[in-house]
Amino acid sequence: MHNDPFVIAIDGPAASGKSTVGRLVAEKLGFLLFDTGALYRAVTLAALRRGVPIEDEARITDLARTIHIELIPATVADGRSYTVLVDGEDVTWAIRSEDVDAHVSAVSAYPGVREALKHQQRRIARQGNVVMAGRDIGTVVFPEAPLKVYLDASPEVRAQRRCEELRARGEEADFDEILAAVRRRDAIDSTRETAPLRVAEDAVVIHTDHMNIDQVVDAIVKLARERLEDPA
């Protein structure tokens, strides 16, 4: 019997489809979606807006501890999956800017930032069955998660998907620049000392280069149903 909330951890590198897939899996199962990257992005945006230098670990860590971040159901029907509030202000699209993209990996490498956000992630996830998307959910935040998925794809496919996502929102996207940014972020995320991006021992790895979104979603939903029925 499952009395604790059921956590599905979906980890993987930049633009591997965690948010899109996570949202659809959550919808199909009636779970909440918790996209943890939004927290790291919110701290980065707050630093950029307040003029806190990204190298200033102490002040960035302090920001992570003090700003109030909320992820709530979408408040505007403009293609968003959820709304992100920082100290009450809607920053849902602002945290997706190129500037935030360029600095978020440096911010998320600070141990104090990760520690502050880990507590928030654990608190939120205890509220109900949840799909959590991130980098270290299966390894650090919820090592006891009953289902861990690691979504992978080649850097070229991920850059292509990110380009399409930006163009769909009416923004300009240069494939080469985006590919370079994806590779830079991969390098920082997987070599940092605290909670680097890596595959949890008991994760199911799904390579998505030759799969469409529905195929990936169906594969995860099937695994989740099996484990919900037979937790052992």
What does the binding site for ligand CDP look like in residue numbers (CB under 6 A)? 14-15, 18-19, 36-37, 40-41, 104-105, 108, 134-136, 185, 189
- Shortest Å, Cβ 223 to ligand CDP: 20
Q: Are 81 and 72 in contact (CB under 8 A)?
A: no
Q: Work out the angle at residue 212's Cα, subtended by the Cα atoms of residues 208 and 213, and round it to the nearest 5 degrees.
A: 95
Nearest approach, Cβ of residue 4 and ligand CDP (Å) = 21
Nearest residue (CB) to ligand CDP, 148 versus 230: 148
Q: What minimum distance in Å lies between the beta carbon of 143 and ligand CDP?
A: 13
Which residue of this chain has its Cβ atom nearest to ligand CDP in the complex? 37
Question: What sign for the dihedral angle of Cα 18, 138, 148, 210?
Answer: positive
**Residues 55, 50: Cα–Cα separation, whole Å:** 14
Between 97 and 211, name the residue whose CB sits nearer to ligand CDP.
97
What is each CA distance from 102 to 117, 152, 182, in whole angstroms? 20, 21, 9
Closest to ligand CDP by CB, 52 vs 96, is: 96
Which distant-in-sequence residues (6+ apart) come within 8 Å of 167 by Cβ?
A: 173
Collapsing DSSP states into helix, strand and coil, what is residue 72?
Answer: strand
Select 19 or 61, whichever has its Cβ closest to ligand CDP. 19
CB of 136 to ligand CDP, least distance (A): 5
Nearest to ligand CDP of 79, 231 (CB atom): 79
Separation CA 97–CA 41 (nearest Å): 9
CB of 31 to ligand CDP, least distance (A): 17
In the complex with ligand CDP, which residue's Cβ is closer, 46 or 189? Answer: 189
Q: What is the largest CA-CA distance in the chain?
A: 51
Q: Which residues contact 56 (CB under 8 A, 6 or more apart)?
A: none
Residue 215 to residues 46, 179, 186, 212: CA-CA distances in angstroms?
Answer: 37, 24, 25, 5
CB 12, CB 134: distance < 8 Å: no
CB of 221 to ligand CDP, least distance (A): 21
Q: Which is nearer to ligand CDP, 118 or 228 (CB)?
A: 118
Shortest Å, Cβ 230 to ligand CDP: 28
